[in-house]
Structures are given as structure tokens and as C-alpha cells.
A and B are shown apart, each in its own frame.
Chain A
């Protein structure tokens, strides 16, 4: 599996710092509501005073889609499973499935509510860590 390259900007610097250490940061308001990382205001109460708070790493599957791309022109296309995951804290995150996509597809492991675990992957050493998910119980 592979993810693409991504560069940080002013809005994502702290998120990527934490990602490099294997931590997925959410936004949290004084009332304890969690919002997705890009949120400028609390998704639940509208509070603009948000702070970074780490996600525990557990999630469940909301939806999935499968695309096929070849690593290089002429090569056989491989499956990529894209997912929307609901983190246990509430916010959703759109990314892809890590681990063997073929196994995920052939075993019927993909179903609404399937347990997922947050993980991270990089295009290469120079690029930022990208949050991905793997099916709970599957090796990273």
C-alpha cells in the first residue's frame, strides 16, 4: 500500500507534527465536544475556542469505495480501498485502508460498523505522515 506526498501549510503544521509521532489530533472545545481536525468552530456547539486533543485511535467504518490504479503505466492495476471512518470521539475522517486491500475485499470484512484502527503511512521519508486505517485484527 502507498499514500501520496503531501506538504504542510500554516493550518496543518501542528497536525503533521503530531502525525509524525503517530498521534492523530482532533479539535476539542471547552464543552468537551470533538470536531474534525480542520474545524475552525466546534461542529456541535459552534464554540470558536478549540484546542488540539489526541484521538484514541479507534474508529468504525461508515462507507467504502474501491479504485484501481497501476503503480506505473502498463503495470497491472491494484485495488485501493477508500474509507470514511467515524472516530470513536465522533468526527469522521476520509482516507484509505492500509494492509492488504485484496484480503479486505475477498474476506467480506468490509461492512458498516466494522472496527478500524488509525495508523500512519508516508509517500517517502521527505513527506508528511498520512493517517490511514487498518481493519482491527489485521497486521499493519
Chain B
């Protein structure tokens, strides 16, 4: 990973190229050994299969731009795993980068203008529903009304993740917060306070996917991809009894664990996509860490955060660590699986569950990673 956060003056493509080069160096291989490249871009775009040229990679056997919103990272790793399994490619680099932050420019200058949109999408915006904040707020409110989930319960997730971030040198927000700070933070889209929402970061992160045999001869201990699955319910803006109550994680999670031959009780660490605190709560339920509707009480029970029984988003996640879409949970999972977590390292880190979530809970990808090739 590159330096992350308020790192200015560089394009997403530059971050992406640096991230791939850093991943190759970390693995102790020449960049030229990469024969597959999967790219993913964020808010500001700017990344395409042209990254091959920037990296001067010749004779690639796999090259594609992948887009599944917040579930892209998990999708990329699954595609790469299938490519190396089939022999199509040998070493596949998967990279995400973005640089939405600009110095001296408030986000309101970007988002505050009201121009006429067109068509159905323009109509949604004209109605006042602009961006992800109100859409996820509508999802969260439905969960609250159905199950009695509260803002304070969301707050426990924010507080726990900030405590993890305090132990992560790469995290952007490391100052501890309290439940009172969460409740006092301004409304973004009620029921979401500011501290329910992810931050924004510049930077890039890349992972290399190769065969277990090849990985054995690389510089760093390999992290094994034990299982993967996706779920795309396909009910965006449509009548949807599950909206805000059940996401694709409910099917993708068990499917990925089944591929790995594992159960939810075998999971040591969970790195969950956290565009909002609510997304973490919903994913915990959908993966089966608790019964449906009990995510709120679970979050409030004190099991989250350093020293808790349930190790979730151990680097601070996107709420407090860095916002690199699905690469945030994936990168922390790799760090934990390798035992590189320093002050925040999980004692047991054999099985790590990783989620990706995109759209308005419309796209989900699950990965099961392990420190051993066959799960212990």
C-alpha cells in the first residue's frame, strides 16, 4: 500500500502504479513477473487497463478493469484466484487507487451545486436523494424500526473501530472517541451522525494473487485464499422486503465458508466493509455472528474493540483507518493473517473473513483467507 490519507498532488493512476510496484517488492519478485493485472477505480476514476503501459508490463495473460462498486476487491481476488487455478496466469496483481481529496477544497464545493440531472437518475437527485448517505440512512432506519436498533448501538461500532485505529500507524483518525462524541457529532443524514460515516482517503493498495506453490518461494509468508462467493440481489430501488434488513452477505458468507470447509465459529478475525457503522452491524447479522435483528445488542455488549471477544475491523476500517473501498478490509486481513499487526495483532489469526459491499447493499463479495493452506 502507498501512503494513505491526505496525500496530495498525485493522480489515481500514479497511486495505482506505485501500489503494484510496492506489492511486487514486498513479495520479492520482479515487476515483470506479474502476468495478470486487474484494475479498479474509485470516485475520481482515472484508472483503466492503460495501467499496463504505466507499469511497462509486457505480454500480460490477463488484463481487465473490474467494477462491482464496494465489492470489487473481493471480486478481483476471486477472479485472480480462478485465473491462477486454471493456469491462465501465474501472478495476478489486483489494484485499487483513488484521490478524491484535494487541499483547500471543501467537499461542499464539489457536491453542493444543484445542476439539472436527466432521466430516472436525475429524478432521484431532484427528489433530494443525492449520494450514498441518504440511501444508507433509509436502509438503517428500516432496520431500526423493524428490530429496535438504536443510534447508540451504531455508536458502539464507531467507538470500537476508533480504538482499533489508535493502534494502527496507517490510520487517519487515531484520537479516541466516546459514545457521547458519537451522539454529539452532527447529523449527516439522520439516523446517521458524522461518526457513523466513513472518511475519505487518497492512495492505492495492491495485492498479488498466485499459486500456493509459487507463493512458497516468495519473500513474505503467503496468505491463502480458502473461499470466495458473491451475491447481487438485484433489487436496487425496487420493492424489496429485505431492504435494510438482509444483504447479499447472508448468502455469500455461508457460500464462501462452505467452499473453505469452515463454519462461522471457525473465524478468528472479521474485516467487514464499513461505509457506515450500520453496514458492519448488518453484515455481522448476515454472516451469522448473531441472530437476525440482534446486531445492535451484540455491538453494545462490549465484544467489539481491542480486548473484545469478537475481532472486527482491527485496523479501524474505513470509519477511522483509511477509505480504500474493499481494499481496506482486504489489506487489514492480509496484515493480520501474516501476523504483521503489531500492537493490534490478533492472537489467533488462522481464518479471516473479509466482506465487500457496494451499491446500496446491492453487491456483496466474501473472501475467506487463511494463514495455512488447509484451514486448521
Distance in angstroms between the alpha carbons of A91 and B244 in the assembled complex: 17
- B281 CB to closest chain A CB (Å) equals 16
B138 touches A65 (CB 8 A): yes
On chain A, the number of residues with a Cβ less than 8 Å from chain B's Cβ atoms is 41
A9 touches B118 (CB 8 A): yes
Q: What residues of chain A lie closer than 8 Å to B141, measured between beta carbons?
A: 63-65
- Name the contact of A38 in the complex, choosing from B114, B120, B145, B191 (C-beta under 8 A): B120
Q: What residues of chain A lie closer than 8 Å to B122, measured between beta carbons?
A: 6-7
Interface flags, B125-138, vs A, CB<8A=1, else 0:
11111000111011
Distance in angstroms between the alpha carbons of A82 and B167 in the assembled complex: 38
CB of B8 closer than 8 Å to a CB of A? no
Of B53-61, B88-96, B174-182, B235-243, the one with at least 4 CB within 8 A of chain A: B235-243
Interface flags, A11-33, vs B, CB<8A=1, else 0:
11000000000000000000000
Q: What residues of chain A lie closer than 8 Å to B128, measured between beta carbons?
A: 3-4, 67, 80, 82, 95-96
CB of A54 closer than 8 Å to a CB of B? no
Q: What residues of chain A lie closer than 8 Å to B240, measured between beta carbons?
A: 92
Q: Which of A25-76 contact B (CB under 8 A)?
A: 35-39, 43, 62-68
Using C-beta atoms within 8 Å of the partner chain, give the interface range for chain B: 35 or more
- A11 CB to closest chain B CB (Å) equals 6
B124 touches A94 (CB 8 A): yes
- A44 CB to closest chain B CB (Å) equals 9
Interface flags, A101-117, vs B, CB<8A=1, else 0:
00000000001100000
Distance in angstroms between the alpha carbons of A131 and B124 in the assembled complex: 10
- B118 CB to closest chain A CB (Å) equals 4
CB of A140 closer than 8 Å to a CB of B? no
CB of B139 closer than 8 Å to a CB of A? yes
Distance in angstroms between the alpha carbons of A66 and B190 in the assembled complex: 5
A66 touches B142 (CB 8 A): no
B118 touches A36 (CB 8 A): no
Interface flags, B117-161, vs A, CB<8A=1, else 0:
111101111111100011101110110011000000000000000
Q: What residues of chain A lie closer than 8 Å to B135, measured between beta carbons?
A: 94
Distance in angstroms between the alpha carbons of A131 and B126 in the assembled complex: 10
CB of A118 closer than 8 Å to a CB of B? no
Closest 10 CB pairs of A and B: A65-B137, A5-B116, A6-B126, A66-B190, A95-B127, A4-B126, A9-B119, A63-B142, A96-B128, A6-B122
Sample of 6 more A-B contacts, CB < 8 Å, known A4-B125, A6-B117, A12-B119: A38-B120, A65-B138, A65-B141, A66-B187, A128-B123, A130-B127
Interface residues of B (CB under 8 A from A): 114-120, 122-129, 133-135, 137-139, 141-142, 145-146, 187-191, 237-240, 243-244
12 contacts between A and B (CB under 8 A): A7-B117, A12-B123, A36-B238, A63-B142, A63-B243, A65-B134, A65-B138, A68-B187, A84-B138, A91-B239, A92-B238, A123-B116
Interface residues of A (CB under 8 A from B): 3-9, 11-12, 35-39, 43, 62-68, 80, 82-84, 86, 90-92, 94-96, 111-112, 123, 127-128, 130-132
